């Protein structure tokens, strides 16, 4: 079922408008091209995981329902009581960790922007390891695939440089239950399901009840137009190799994921949040002009707003122009952008006079310096920073100062002892990956160092060029002149700068993506503002290990929190 | 009308013998367009340089076909090209030879090791056409490129660098190019790769084709003249 349709379906359930649902079916079907529709089916497919392979190995066929599903699918984990799993009785799929409307209306549930409710997403059980959850919080997929200045870096730690690579890594990875040595089995399983699927399953019924072999081969005149793939997406299932089928699947899921973006108008302007409506209402620019840097656009925006305030012409938003009642459909907050939100916007965008906030700035507060990494309109720089999240979590599990005392090897020592330090891969299946782990009190030394695991990792070559460039740029900004490329940007010099760095998340529709941070450690936006107050102090005091330099410019006081949170909530929208 | 045709014919004939119709300096931001205008030039891509993939090496300035250092041995850089930073001394570490994949570059390329310095490309003999990939390290803000001939500056242009290599090309229909100076945006580092330089020669069929076209044009003119008479 296409995304738009699934959301409309949930809305119709909420409102009891069954007829609207029926109308939406044909409308949504008409909107989504076949590659997106088929991509969504594959995104939801539950038969690619290791648990289903075990079922097949028990003598069953791909079209038989599992006799007992993977236990991890029974529930949707939340920060409180678990919810009933929408794919209970089956095995892992993409959607289990990238939910949308499955729990709308459920107590403790709600809409999601293609993420889940867990602090860290549960993973299938395997007897060969002790893992019960992914090391990180499931990120929203909406807006995750937008193009960026320094190449595509996907996942919190930049492990993947393209969506097809990410999809391939996921379908053959631990989140689907596969161990590092089982890649070939994973590919084989995907290919077998595709070849033998007869279109009789429940998921297939939502997509025209067509066998995968028919839709992916794509040449039969019996395929309805809405499911007929353009030639570039087809694969002749009867003759193609397992790898060729696997690649075709990865391509289609990528296409589906790529089109998950927040709503924009015909000019490419985001248009559904109170913030966006505020800009539109006041005739303010909604995106950078030409090649204007996003930071400069953000600064210009604030200047224009200030001029309107001075002229007395600024208008506030009091209701949602996109719904009949003027409210949100999927958020309980009022749809407003008023003085409180504007004050929050000012704090969000305000920069310190120098790189480090001055004593007077610290006393006055009101300087968020958020623009440094979260400039409008995307509210992310897609780069990698250490905000102190890892240190806070590690110190909370062990003791204050524990992270600063943690022994982290330099490049030569790290790469010389791959199995002791780096993540498990097909080449090093027995690697201990202590630095891509969830901290626990029984095992000191285990934590998540983010990009440090990927940077200069010989088993993961693709991201290296862009990571070298990104961290070289970062090092150059921090270096005392005269910096030079040779001494500043060697991988040996740069590796320490990757410690505990993670990709900057976007801030749109945060109301549908908690809990927050890669650790999932914060339930509320207020907690995050307080966290930044704390870590900026640590950064200035020099006790935040490899902390982002931008933190030193933050000067927030307690009374700033309400306004900042109000602004962040004004970025919520009814994603459809 | 008759006079006009004669002028066009003579101009076409002249262009066959001298090259492009317009005299002066023309710039290009696309390699394919540059190659079409100045085909067949030798290209220096620094691929003979001594640096491993995903690594870099420091090299002294200047770099040319006689260089004999840890980066290049004699003959590994094309004759007629000299790259330098204007004589600023960094103890033999004026350049960084960047291995493929070290940054966003797919093949080896040459970057100034220090920011805010001017990268000079000197040509001897002087070249009619020069085109190269233009790299930056810190931002994609425009660089300034000044083109020189023996008499002085032939023009200053803005060029967009890229982390993956932008392109700047120049064709001089008049005075030949002796130097190109690249000034990066504030704080940034200038880098180059795949430098095409020299004086393009017309392809074998070009001159006869031009003469044939001019002859047809002349015949049309004569025909119209006779009709009018």
CA of A152: which chain B residue's CA is closest? Answer: B104
Q: Is the Cβ–Cβ distance between A390 and A436 less than 8 Å?
A: no
- pLDDT of amino acid B23: 55
Nearest chain A Cα to B107, which residue? A465
Percent of chain A with pLDDT over 90: 92
Task: Tell me the C-alpha distance between A435 and A430, whole Å.
Answer: 14
Instruction: Sort B146 into a burial class: Cβ within 10 Å, 0-12 / 13-18 / 19+.
Output: middle
Supply A35's token pair.
């590659």
Nearest CA in chain A to B110: A485
| DSSP category for residue B123 | E
d(C-alpha A272, C-alpha A509), whole Å? 10
Report which of residues A99 and B7 the model is more confident about. A99
pLDDT of residue A469: 96
pLDDT at B224: 53
Interface of A with B in 481-520 (CB under 8 A): 482-486, 489-491
- Asked whether the beta carbons of residue B138 and residue A476 sit closer than 8 angstroms, the reply is yes
CB-CB contact of A565 with A529 (8 Å): yes
The ipTM of this complex is 0.84
Would you say residue A354 has pLDDT above 70?
yes
pLDDT of residue B14: 42
* Helix axes of B2-18 and B206-228: crossing angle, nearest 10 degrees: 170
Closest approach of A476 to chain B, Cα-based (Å) = 8
Residue to mutate among A290, A460, A484, with most B CBs inside 10 A, is A484
pLDDT in tens, A378-432: 999 999 999 999 999 999 999 999 999 999 999 999 999 999 999 999 999 999 9
Does residue A16 carry a pLDDT above 80? no
Q: Average pLDDT in the B96-105 region?
A: 95
Closest Cα of chain A to B222: distance in Å?
A: 53
A464 → closest Cβ in B54, B114, B187 = B54
**B140 and A149 in contact by Cβ < 8 A?**
yes
Residue A31's pLDDT band (cuts 50, 70, 90)? confident
Measured between beta carbons, the chain B residues lying within 8 angstroms of A473 are 137-138
Whether A502 shows a pLDDT value over 50: the answer reads: yes
Minimal C-alpha gap between B154 and chain A (Å): 28
Q: Is the dihedral of CA A116, A180, A424, A460 positive or negative?
A: negative
Confidence band of B223 (pLDDT split at 50, 70, 90):
low
Predicted confidence at residue A151, as pLDDT, reads: 86
pLDDT band at A179 (very low <50, low <70, confident <90, very high): very high
Task: Tell me which of A15-29, A113-127, A295-309 is least confident.
Answer: A15-29
Query: Of all helices (H) and strands (E), which one includes residue B191?
Result: strand B191-198
State the smallest CA–CA distance between residue B75 and chain A in angstroms. Answer: 25
Whether residue A20 is predicted with pLDDT greater than 80 in this model: the reply is no
Quick check: A228 and A218 in contact, CB under 8 A?
Answer: yes
A418-465: per-residue pLDDT in tens?
999 999 999 999 999 999 999 999 999 999 999 999 999 999 999 999
Taking contacts as CB-CB distances below 8 angstroms, the residues of chain B near A149 are 140, 163
Dihedral over alpha carbons A393, A539, A525, A354 (to 10 degrees): -160
Comparing alpha-carbon positions, the chain A residue that sits nearest to B92 is A486
Please give the residue that has the higher pLDDT: either A205 or B4: A205
- What's the helix, strand, coil split of chain A in %, to 5? 45, 5, 50
pLDDT of residue B97: 98
Alpha-carbon torsion A324, A329, A333, A337, what sign? negative
**pTM, to two decimals:** 0.90
R_g (Cα) of chain A, nearest Å: 24
In angstroms, the CA A259 to CA A261 distance is 6
Residue of A nearest to B101 (CA): A465
Mean pLDDT for the stretch of residues A327-336: 96
Residue from B163, B165, B186 to probe the interface with A (highest A Cβ count within 10 Å): B163
Residue B155 confidence class, pLDDT cut points 50, 70, 90: very high
Nearest CB to A484; choose among B113, B163, B187: B113
Asked if A486 lies within 8 A of B93 by C-beta distance, the reply is yes
Q: Is A495 exposed, middle or buried (0-12, 13-18, 19+ CB in 10 A)?
A: buried
pLDDT tops 90 at residue A559: yes
pLDDT band for A532, please (50, 70, 90 cuts): very high
Percent of chain A whose pLDDT exceeds 70: 95
Q: Given a cut of 90, is residue A329 above it in pLDDT?
A: yes
3-state secondary structure of A349: helix
Check residue B202 and give its pLDDT: 62
Q: Are strands B95-98 and B109-112 parallel, antiparallel or unpaired?
A: antiparallel
pLDDT at B215: 59
User: Which residues are registered as beta bridge partners of A99?
Assistant: A115
B105 contacts A465? CB cut-off 8 A:
yes
Query: A575: pLDDT confidence band, cut at 50, 70 and 90?
Result: confident
Q: What is the mean pLDDT of residues A132-144?
A: 97
Q: Say how many CB pairs under 8 Å bridge A and B.
A: 59
Sign of the C-alpha dihedral computed for residues A548, A549, A550 and A552 taken in this order: positive
Contact list in B for residue A477 (CB cut-off 8 A) is 138
CA distance A51 to chain B (A): 39
Determine, for residues A150 and B56 on separate chains, whether the beta-carbon distance falls below 8 Å. Answer: no
Instruction: Please state, rounded to an integer, the average pLDDT across all residues of chain A.
Output: 94
B163/A484 Cβ within 8 A? no
For residues B98 and B82, give the distance between their C-alpha atoms in angstroms, rounded to a whole number.
18
Report the percent of chain B where pLDDT is more than 70: 78
Instruction: Write out pLDDT tens, residues B58-91.
Output: 999 999 999 999 999 999 999 999 999 999 999 9
Residue appearing with tokens 């709503």: A263
Mean pLDDT in residue range A345-366? 98
Q: What is the mean pLDDT of residues B210-220?
A: 55
pLDDT in tens, B19-73: 333 458 999 999 999 999 999 999 999 999 999 999 999 999 999 999 999 999 9
How confident is the model at residue A481, as a pLDDT? 74
Confidence of residue A333 (pLDDT cuts 50, 70, 90): very high
Per-residue model confidence (pLDDT) at position A10: 38
- B29–A contact, CB cutoff 8 A: no
Task: Give the pLDDT band of residue B201 (cuts 50, 70, 90).
Answer: confident
Provide the pLDDT confidence category of residue B214 given band limits of 50, 70 and 90. low
Burial class (CB in 10 A: 0-12, 13-18, 19+), A12: middle
Looking at residue B220, its pLDDT comes to 58
- Give chain A positions within 8 Å (CB) of B54: 461, 464-465, 468, 491
The model's confidence at residue B139, banded by pLDDT at 50, 70 and 90, is: very high
What backbone phi and psi angles, to 5 degrees, belong to B171?
A: -130, 125
User: Does residue A216 have a pLDDT over 60?
Assistant: yes
């Amino acid at each position: 079922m296409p995304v738009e349709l699934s959301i409309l379906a949930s809305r119709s359930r909420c409102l009891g408008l069954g007829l609207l649902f029926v109308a939406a079916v044909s409308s949504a079907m008409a909107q989504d091209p076949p590659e997106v529709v088929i991509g969504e089916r594959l995104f939801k497919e539950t038969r690619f995981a290791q648990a289903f392979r075990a079922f097949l190995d028990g003598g069953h066929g791909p079209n038989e329902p599992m006799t007992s599903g993977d236990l991890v699918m029974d529930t949707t984990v939340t920060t409180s009581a678990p919810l009933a799993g929408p794919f209970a009785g089956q095995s892992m799929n993409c959607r289990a960790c990238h939910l949308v409307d499955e729990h709308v209306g459920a107590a403790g549930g709600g809409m999601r922007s293609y993420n889940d409710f867990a602090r860290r997403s549960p993973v299938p059980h395997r007897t060969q390891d002790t893992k019960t959850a992914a090391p990180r919080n499931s990120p929203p997929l909406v807006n995750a695939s937008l193009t960026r200045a320094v190449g595509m870096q996907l996942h919190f730690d930049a492990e993947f440089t393209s969506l097809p690579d990410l999809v391939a890594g996921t379908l053959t990875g631990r989140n689907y239950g596969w161990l590092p040595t089982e890649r070939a089995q994973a590919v084989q399983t995907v290919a077998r399901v595709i070849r033998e699927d007869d279109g009789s399953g429940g998921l297939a019924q939502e997509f025209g009840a067509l066998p995968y072999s028919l839709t992916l081969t794509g040449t039969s005149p019996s395929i309805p137009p809405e499911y007929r793939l353009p030639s570039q997406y087809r694969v002749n299932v009867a003759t193609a190799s397992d790898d060729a089928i696997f690649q075709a699947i990865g391509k289609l899921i990528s296409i589906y994921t790529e089109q998950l973006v927040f709503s924009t108008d015909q000019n490419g302007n985001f248009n559904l949040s109170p913030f966006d409506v505020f800009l539109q209402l006041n005739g303010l620019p909604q995106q950078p002009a030409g090649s204007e840097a996003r930071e400069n656009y953000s600064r210009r925006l604030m200047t224009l707003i200030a001029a309107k305030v001075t002229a007395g012409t600024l208008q506030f938003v009091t209701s949602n122009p996109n719904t009949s009642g003027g409210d949100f459909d999927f958020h309980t907050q009022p749809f407003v952008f008023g003085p409180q939100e504007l004050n929050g916007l000012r704090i969000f965008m305000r920069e310190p006079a120098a790189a480090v906030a001055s004593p007077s700035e610290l006393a006055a507060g009101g300087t968020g310096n958020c623009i440094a990494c979260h400039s409008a309109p995307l509210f992310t720089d897609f780069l990698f920073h250490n905000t102190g999240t890892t240190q806070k979590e590690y110190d909370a599990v062990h003791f204050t100062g524990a992270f600063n005392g943690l022994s982290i090897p330099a490049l030569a020592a790290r790469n010389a002892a791959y199995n002791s330090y780096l993540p498990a891969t097909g080449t090093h299946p027995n690697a201990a990956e202590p630095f891509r782990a969830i901290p626990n009190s029984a095992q000191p030394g285990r934590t998540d160092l983010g990009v440090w695991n990927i940077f200069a990792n010989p088993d993961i070559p693709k991201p290296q060029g862009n990571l070298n460039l990104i961290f070289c740029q970062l090092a150059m900004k921090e270096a005392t002149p005269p910096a030079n490329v040779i001494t500043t940007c060697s991988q040996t010099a740069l590796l320490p700068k990757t410690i505990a760095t993670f990709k900057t998340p976007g801030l749109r529709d945060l109301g549908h993506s908690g809990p927050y941070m890669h650790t999932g450690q914060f339930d509320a936006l207020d907690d995050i503002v307080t966290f930044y107050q704390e870590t900026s102090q640590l950064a200035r005091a020099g006790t935040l290990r490899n902390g982002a330099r931008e933190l030193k410019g933050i000067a927030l006081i307690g009374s700033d929190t309400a306004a900042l949170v109000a602004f962040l909530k004004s970025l919520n929208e009814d994603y459809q | 009308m008759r006079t006009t045709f004669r002028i066009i014919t003579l101009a076409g004939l002249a262009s066959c013998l001298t090259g492009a119709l317009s005299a002066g300096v023309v710039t290009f931001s696309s390699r394919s367009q540059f190659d079409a205008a100045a085909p067949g030039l030798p290209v220096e891509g620094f691929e003979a340089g001594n640096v491993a993939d995903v690594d870099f090496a420091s090299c002294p300035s200047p770099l040319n076909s006689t260089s004999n250092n840890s980066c290049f041995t004699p003959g590994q850089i094309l004759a007629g090209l000299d790259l330098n930073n204007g004589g600023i001394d960094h103890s033999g570490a004026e350049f960084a030879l960047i291995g493929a994949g070290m940054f966003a570059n797919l093949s080896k390329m040459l970057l100034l090791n220090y920011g805010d310095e001017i990268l000079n490309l000197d040509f001897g003999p002087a070249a009619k056409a020069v085109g190269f990939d233009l790299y930056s390290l810190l931002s994609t803000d425009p660089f300034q490129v000044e083109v020189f001939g023996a008499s002085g500056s032939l023009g200053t242009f803005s060029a967009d660098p890229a982390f993956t290599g932008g392109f700047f090309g120049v064709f001089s229909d008049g005075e030949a190019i002796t130097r190109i100076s690249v000034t990066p945006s504030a704080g940034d580092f200038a880098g180059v790769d795949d430098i095409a330089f020299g004086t393009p020669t017309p392809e074998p069929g070009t001159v006869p084709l031009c003469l044939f076209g001019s002859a047809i044009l002349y015949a049309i003119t004569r025909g119209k003249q006779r009709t009018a008479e």
